[in-house]
Each structure stands twice: as structure tokens, then as C-alpha cells.
Amino acid sequence: MGREKGSEAQRFRFERLWFATVASNLGDGLVLAAFPLIATGLSTDPVAVSMITAAAGLPWLVFGPLAGAIVDRFDRRKLMVAFDVGRAMIVAAFALAVATDAVALWAIYLVVFLIATGETVVDTSSQTILPALVPKDRLDVANGRLFSTMTVAHRFIGPPLGGWLFGVAVVVPIAADSATFAVAALLMLSLSGRFQPQLKASDPVGNIASSVVEGFKWLWGNRPIRTFAIGAGVLNIGIMAGESILVLFAQDQLGVGAFGFGSLFAALAVGYAAGSAVAPTVTARLDRLAIIGVGVGLIALSLAAIAMSRNWFPAAAGLLGIGIGSGLWDVIAVSYRQAAVPDRLLGRIMAAYRVIAHGSVPVGAVLGGLVARLGGNPAAYAFGGALVVVALVYVFVNLRSVELDPALI
């Protein structure tokens, strides 16, 4: 009976985190369509448009290491509440600027940068809280549920709805995004318990700089996690090279409008939701490295297929494939990190990992914009596909003899 009560309490607490994550991702999905559409009204230069994606990834390079050190020092729930409140206020101010027709490209870049800066702390805190809410042997299931549902909200429901709301009034999806951050903050505020890092008396506690260095040294010295980080970085460069100019590809090559553009993100979301939802089932039956190989190979083929697409359906099918492969990768990689890293280092390792993995997003975005400017929009997708093949080879060579099941670590 005591065990059942404990299990029920864990489930209830996990659902607070789950609902908060879904709420903020739904809002972000609304502006995922709205921000590029606002930008194309100001400029059709591929580099200018791709800078929105670059601005979203840059904070992981600038603030990611600091975010990890902060998360390993303070209550992670309180950090999520504080930074979501801050993001709600920033987006509300931008909504006011949109309503008064006082928007410029630099303002879009700045708002996206500030939102993503908050994300460095909120997402790192979220991933480090999760192991305190579920046992190790349930991490695959919890991550699969979290990733699949938040992606449905972020990329399946949010972008088409954002494109439709954009057509009603440009300010509506922006204001809704602000509200979802506020809801997420309230949900996390209602989560009971303290989520301070678990330190032993023998654990060293240095200043922020030494803490950051310790995290990076630990990551770099752990071959499987280093391999996942570098592999994810190359994957993200390849995927973002195309995704950063998707709005232009949709308009110029596919001939679709705001709702059609949002629907392309929905196809990506359906794939990601499916990949992350089935990951716990397939990892229970098949070798995890083989699953990674199938997933990453599918991403490479899908990018090549999009490069050759000239109407909506094959492009959407390609984005579906990218989503499936990405969902499989994320569940396996995140579950491994959550099980393999000591709790006192978990925030720093999660952040250091994302500095490498997500810090590559602006690199991919800028490269994609440049390749599209020089060779046309389809060339950005062909370039991305070639990079993903490189990532596949690298990961296979370095993870061949590694036990990837978190329950066996």
C-alpha cells in the first residue's frame, strides 16, 4: 500500500512538470510560425530570415555553461518559476510593440534571444528535476511521454494555429505565448517539494567558473556522453540548415501561405511525437544503437527528399521522417544522460551537452542561409543531409561497445 501511494504521488508530481512543459511549448509553437511570417514582411533575404533561428540557438553558446552551474546550486523548481515569469513579461512587451506597429527585425531577434536565454535555465532545470520524479527504469517512458506531447503542442498544434491566428490578427499568437509562460510558472509554483541538488559532504563546491569547468571536463572525459553531444551538434547543424529557411522554401518552392507553412511544422511534430512515443517500446525490444542508426539514417534521407520536393506533400513527408528520427534519438540520449550522470553534476552536464548540441543551431542557421543565398533554397537541405551522414558514421564508430540502457547503468 505504501509503495502504491508513493507511486501515485510521483505520478501526480510528474504531471505538474508535464503540464507546465506542454503549456509553454504550445505558446512557443504559436510564435514558431508567427515570428518568421512577421520577418518575411520586413525582408525576404534568406540570411536575414535565418537569423531568427540563429538568435534562438545563440544563448546556449553564451549562457548555457552558466545556466548549468546555476541549476546545480539553487532549487530547480524556483528557477523555472522565476524565468517563466520573466519570459511572460518579455513576450507581453513585444505583443504591445506588434499591436502598435513598432516592430523591426532587430526587435524580433532580441525577443527570440531573450526567450531562448530563459530556456537555457528552464529546460536544464526541467531535465534535472525529472529523475527526482520517476525511477530510473521509467525514464524512457517519462521522457517519451514528455517529448511526444510537448512536441505535439509545440509543432503540431501550435504552428498551424499560430498561422491561422496570424491571419486573424498578428498580435494574437504573440499575446497567447506570453499567457502560456504565465500558466507554466503557476503550475511549477504548485509543485510541492524542494529540488536542491543532492550534495555529499565530500563533494567539492567551488565558484561559478570552477563549477562550469568541472562540468565540461566531466562531459569531455565521458566518451558516450561526449559522442552524443558532438553527434547531436552535427545533426542540428544539418537539420537547422534547412529549417532556418523553411518559410522561404514553403513560399518559393512549394507555393504555400501562412497556414500551409504552419502545417509543415505540424508534419515535423507528428513525426517527432511518433518517434518519441514509440521509443520506449522499441528500446525494450531492439538494440539501442541500431535504433539510433535507423533514426539518423532516416533524417539524412528525409533532408535529401525535401531538397527535391516541389509541392507540399513530399516536403511534409520528409519533415515527418526528420521528426521520427529526432524523437528516437532524443529519448535514448536524454535517458542515458539522466541515468549516467551524478545528481550534483546533472545540471552542468545537461547544460554543457546543450551548449554543444544546441549551440550548433545558430551555426546551422547561418550556414543554411548562406547556402540558400548562393545555391537556392533546396541546396540548404542537400547540404544538411550530407552533414547528417557524417554524424551517423561518427556515432556508430564511438558507441559500438557502450551499454546504452539506463536501467543497466
240 falls within a domain: yes
Q: Measure the CA–CA gap between 262 and 37, rounded to whole angstroms.
A: 10
Q: Measure the CA–CA gap between 265 and 318, rounded to whole angstroms.
A: 11
Across 154-168, 242-256, 284-298, which has the greatest mean pLDDT?
Answer: 284-298
- pLDDT, residue 7, reads 56
More confident residue, 70 or 203: 70
Residue by residue, DSSP assigns 63-104 as THHHHHHHHTTS-HHHHHHHHHHHHHHHHHHHHHHHHTT---
Residue 86 clears pLDDT 90, i.e. is over it: yes
Q: Measure the CA–CA gap between 330 and 121, rounded to whole angstroms.
A: 19
Band (pLDDT 50/70/90 cuts) for residue 308 is very high
- pLDDT, residue 259, reads 73
Question: Cell numbers at residue 343, please?
Answer: 545528481
Band (pLDDT 50/70/90 cuts) for residue 197 is low
Band (pLDDT 50/70/90 cuts) for residue 2 is very low
Q: Measure the CA–CA gap between 241 and 365, rounded to whole angstroms.
A: 5
- Per residue in 128-173, pLDDT tens? 888 777 777 788 788 777 777 776 777 667 777 777 788 778 888 8
292 falls within a domain: yes
The backbone torsions φ and ψ at residue 342, rounded to the nearest 5 degrees and listed phi first, read -60, 145
- Per residue in 9-42, pLDDT tens? 556 678 888 888 888 878 877 787 788 888 888 8
pLDDT mean over 366-377 = 92
- pLDDT, residue 4, reads 45
Q: Measure the CA–CA gap between 39 and 107, rounded to whole angstroms.
A: 10
Q: Measure the CA–CA gap between 88 and 305, rounded to whole angstroms.
A: 38
pLDDT mean over 31-60 = 83
- pLDDT, residue 3, reads 45
Distances (CA, A) of 332 to 125, 144, 224, 336, 401: 19, 9, 12, 6, 16
Residue by residue, DSSP assigns 369-402 as HHHHHHH-HHHHHHHHHHHHHHHHHHHHHHHTT-
201 falls within a domain: no
CB 32 within 8 A of CB 158: yes
CB 307 within 8 A of CB 378: yes
Band (pLDDT 50/70/90 cuts) for residue 202 is very low
200 falls within a domain: no
100 falls within a domain: yes
Chain position carrying cell 553534476: 345
Band (pLDDT 50/70/90 cuts) for residue 55 is confident
- pLDDT, residue 11, reads 61
- pLDDT, residue 236, reads 92
Band (pLDDT 50/70/90 cuts) for residue 200 is low
Band (pLDDT 50/70/90 cuts) for residue 45 is confident
Residue 206 clears pLDDT 70, i.e. is over it: no
pLDDT mean over 243-269 = 83
| Lowest-confidence pick of 94-108, 343-357, 375-389 | 343-357
Burial of 113 (0-12, 13-18, 19+ CB in 10 A): middle
- pLDDT, residue 385, reads 96
Q: Which CATH number do you get for residue 67?
A: 1.20.1250.20
Average pLDDT, the chain: 85
% pLDDT > 90, the chain: 34
Residue 192 clears pLDDT 80, i.e. is over it: no
87 falls within a domain: yes
Query: DSSP code of 254?
Result: S
**Cα 224–chain centre separation:** 20
**CB burial string 296-333: b at 16+ within 10 A, e below:** bebbbbbbbbbbebeebeebbebbbbbbbbbbbbbbbb
Domain coverage including residue 402: 2-194+206-408
124 falls within a domain: yes
Question: Cell numbers at residue 36, please?
Answer: 518568421
pLDDT mean over 183-199 = 79
- pLDDT, residue 370, reads 94
Residue by residue, DSSP assigns 117-155 as HHHHHHHHHHHHHHHHHS-GGGHHHHHHHHHHHHHIIII
- pLDDT, residue 280, reads 87
Number of structural domains (the chain) is 1
